[in-house]
Chain A
Amino acid sequence: MNAKTVFMGYTRGDIVNFAVAIILALVIVPMVVKTDYWYSSILIPWLCLALAAVGQQIVMGYAGQLALGAAGFMAAGAFACFNLILRVPYIPFPLALVFSGLIAAAFGVLFGLPSLRVRGIYLMVATLASQFFIIWMIDKFGWFKNYDTSGIITAQDIVIFGKPFTTPLEMYLVVVVVVMVLTVLAINMTRGSTGRSWMAVRDMDIAAESMGISLLKTKLQAFAISAFFCGVAGALFAFTYLKSLEPVAFDIKLSFKILFMVILGGLGTINGAFIGAAFILLFPVLLNSIGNNVFHGAIDSTIISSIEQVVFGVLIIVFLIFEPLGMAKLYDNIKQKFRGGSAPKDKKKRELDAASSEAG
């Protein structure tokens, strides 16, 4: 890295990116996008799921722990938020969000404990336990659902400083601000010593340990932070997208979806979480509209969802074989091409360049 830091360790590129993101998200999108459909069916779920994918990215892409229970933590966050607002008088929504994230994080630590002894598929099974256990717990104990028997609970309105945020645009603004704050936080962590220890543990845990990195602390920290992100994402997902709370919405299928976002987007990149979430969310929309407009509904909707499944599966395999770094890498390649005009250098070459420039 030879880019100069301009402000508190950020390069000029970072600041430009951040400024562009803020202007785009808070000024341009609200000015250009006028239909509610875009907010409530595309932008809001995209941002929520991307946030959960960032959580999955932290534990899987950065810390290298194969966990499969993101939806369980999302459920924990969503129901924690519901209960906090219900039972704690005058709790501001942002505070409720933070606490629901923390409650999810506690579950993350609990179910992250097996990661200290096992890895790979073994860990995956252990984290599956969290998925099934959390959903069961919410389902079985009426207290979590405020003894509602209908099975579907309407989420409370979001009220921040006395102002209700109920229209799709307002909800979008809430979500986008939370997601941006947490994403910047995630980027900071992955670039700082925390992220370096995660990656060291991912790349070779024994070597990392001999360098003085505590595996216990690093792994549990990754699980906790990942679950925190998932918890907040789950709360936002329930309050702004579903507008109701039902455990079924957070079943294992959602966990798989989030896993796919991370793999397709690219392991070990924050961008990848956003790109992957966009793809997983938009592809079915695209497929449905092709089914409706090109074939005029001649294809059964169950067939379309089967096709969607096949395409996701095939893409996973194709990406693992040809571009393990995922869509984020493809995007980088394209960007490079436009910028430099020359073919993108591969990773090894870039490392060599960096090394030689440091030496010279």
Chain B
Amino acid sequence: MTEFLFFLEVVVAGLLAGTMYSLVALGFVLIYKASSTFNFAQGAMVFFAVLAFVGFMELGLPFVVAFFVTILLMGLVGFCTERLVLNPLMNQSEDTLLMATIGLGFVLEGLAQAAWGVEVRRLDLGIGDFPIPWIIDTTGLFISALDLTAGLVAAILIVGLALIFKYTKMGLGLRAVADDPGAASSIGIPLGNIMLLVWTAAGIVALVAGMMWGARAGVQFALVDLALKALPVLIIGGFSSIPGAIVGGLIIGASEKVLEVYVGPYFGGAIEGWAPYVLAIFFLLWRPEGLFGEKIIRRV
């Protein structure tokens, strides 16, 4: 029984850590849905956003003000990206856009470090990263408050975004743009505005993800590498699906922990670094479009 409980604990810890990946993956999905651009810079955006947030807090701004100023800043980043990068590259191949966003990622990382320095910052959200006693008493599971908050925030963001996509006029426009940008703009949907909105939304998601990661591991450059882990999440979930990002994150989180605990010792440990990628490769062979993605149809 205790063994099973231990297993359960590993899985739960993995699932909760997985929501953190989901948060990062969500930003990718938003942009991919609207523009079929794979935004490699999302990881850099996470880093940029949370570093800016911490930077504003250090200037003495109160929490809420710093939060909104950062959102404005991310809107500005989105605006510049749309005007200076995406617009000139319109109708280019997906690979070209992908390379451009790699460049964008480098710009954001560099700017963030030039503006706010490279030292590791602490971010205190007032949520403890320790197990909640009440849950230990009732179920025997060790679950940290921060993990729980991250899960909750992820859930709220996802439901919110899903509702916006489904029921608002803007969401409809967004889906139209995703489907066929040419047709959408010819019936009067403002392409630029939609893109700006999407990038701002991705910026907000990046900020939230960054805050969660930052509260756990400190605000530092390693966040960019952590964000790379969102890639296997996306491959498993599918690039264009919001639920996919969540499920993918949960799968990666849980399997990564389970593999590390049960299989890792046979390989000398620390397999967390590459296990998600290998998992993603097997997934690619089985189901290249991901669990929830649309089937990829290529026309010649």
The answer for the CA separation of A50 and B299 in the assembled complex, in Å, is 36
Q: Are B274 and A136 in contact (CB under 8 A)?
A: yes
Measured between beta carbons, the chain B residues less than 8 angstroms from A313 are 103-110
Q: How many residue pairs between the two chains, A and B, have CB atoms under 8 Å in the bound complex?
A: 129
Give the contact stretch, choosing among A21-29, A126-134, A187-195. A126-134
Contacts of B92-117 to chain A: CB distance below 8 A: 92, 94-96, 98-100, 102-111, 113-114, 117
Q: Say if the beta carbon of B300 comes within 8 Å of chain A.
A: yes
Cβ-defined partner of A259 (8 Å) among B102, B117, B280: B102
Q: Say if the beta carbon of A308 comes within 8 Å of chain B.
A: yes
Q: Say if the beta carbon of B127 comes within 8 Å of chain A.
A: no
Q: Are A140 and B106 in contact (CB under 8 A)?
A: no
Contacts of A282-324 to chain B: CB distance below 8 A: 302-303, 305-317, 320-321, 324
A85 to chain B: closest CB distance in Å? 25
Q: Say if the beta carbon of B133 comes within 8 Å of chain A.
A: no
Q: Are A66 and B98 in contact (CB under 8 A)?
A: yes
Q: Say if the beta carbon of B217 comes within 8 Å of chain A.
A: no
Residue with the greatest number of chain A CB neighbours at <10 A, chosen from B100, B104, B281: B281
Some 16 contacts from A to B, beta carbons below 8 A apart, are A121-B40, A122-B235, A126-B281, A129-B278, A206-B300, A252-B228, A256-B106, A263-B99, A302-B113, A303-B114, A306-B110, A306-B114, A313-B103, A313-B110, A317-B85, A317-B104
Q: Are B284 and A117 in contact (CB under 8 A)?
A: yes
Chain A residues near B (Cβ < 8 Å): 66, 114, 117-118, 120-122, 124-126, 128-129, 132-133, 136, 139-141, 204, 206-207, 252, 256, 259, 263, 302-303, 305-317, 320-321, 324
Measured between beta carbons, the chain A residues less than 8 angstroms from B95 are 66, 120
A257 to chain B: closest CB distance in Å? 11
Measured between beta carbons, the chain A residues less than 8 angstroms from B267 are 140
The answer for the CA separation of A124 and B108 in the assembled complex, in Å, is 21
The answer for the CA separation of A141 and B269 in the assembled complex, in Å, is 11
Chain B residues near A (Cβ < 8 Å): 38, 40, 84-85, 88-89, 92, 94-96, 98-100, 102-111, 113-114, 117-118, 225, 228, 231-232, 235, 239, 267-271, 273-274, 277-278, 280-281, 284-285, 288, 298, 300
Measured between beta carbons, the chain B residues less than 8 angstroms from A128 are 228, 231, 277
The answer for the CA separation of A303 and B269 in the assembled complex, in Å, is 36
The answer for the CA separation of A321 and B225 in the assembled complex, in Å, is 27
Cβ-defined partner of B110 (8 Å) among A117, A124, A125, A309: A309
Residue with the greatest number of chain B CB neighbours at <10 A, chosen from A132, A206, A305: A132
Cβ-defined partner of B106 (8 Å) among A132, A136, A316: A316
The answer for the CA separation of A311 and B281 in the assembled complex, in Å, is 33
A306-B114, A307-B110 known; A320+B278 contact, CB < 8 A: no
Chain A interface main SS type: helix
Output the nearest chain A residue to B231 by Cβ-Cβ distance. Answer: A125
Cβ-defined partner of B114 (8 Å) among A207, A307, A316, A324: A307
A140-B268, A302-B113 known; A133+B274 contact, CB < 8 A: yes
Output the nearest chain B residue to A302 by Cβ-Cβ distance. Answer: B118
Cβ-defined partner of B225 (8 Å) among A252, A306, A307: A252
B289 to chain A: closest CB distance in Å? 9
B61 to chain A: closest CB distance in Å? 23
Output the nearest chain A residue to B88 by Cβ-Cβ distance. Answer: A321
Beyond A140-B270, A206-B298, 18 additional contacts (C-beta under 8 Å) are A66-B95, A66-B98, A118-B284, A120-B98, A121-B40, A124-B98, A128-B231, A207-B300, A252-B225, A302-B113, A302-B117, A306-B110, A306-B111, A307-B110, A313-B105, A313-B107, A314-B107, A320-B99
Measured between beta carbons, the chain B residues less than 8 angstroms from A66 are 95, 98
Output the nearest chain B residue to A210 by Cβ-Cβ distance. Answer: B300
The answer for the CA separation of A173 and B34 in the assembled complex, in Å, is 53
The answer for the CA separation of A140 and B270 in the assembled complex, in Å, is 8
Q: Are B106 and A129 in contact (CB under 8 A)?
A: no
Output the nearest chain B residue to A207 by Cβ-Cβ distance. Answer: B300
Q: Are B113 and A129 in contact (CB under 8 A)?
A: no
Q: Are A129 and B288 in contact (CB under 8 A)?
A: no
The answer for the CA separation of A309 and B95 in the assembled complex, in Å, is 21
Measured between beta carbons, the chain B residues less than 8 angstroms from A316 are 99-100, 102-103, 106
The answer for the CA separation of A278 and B96 in the assembled complex, in Å, is 23
Q: Are B231 and A309 in contact (CB under 8 A)?
A: no
Q: Are B232 and A312 in contact (CB under 8 A)?
A: no
Measured between beta carbons, the chain A residues less than 8 angstroms from B38 are 120-121
A118-B288, A204-B300 known; A324+B107 contact, CB < 8 A: no
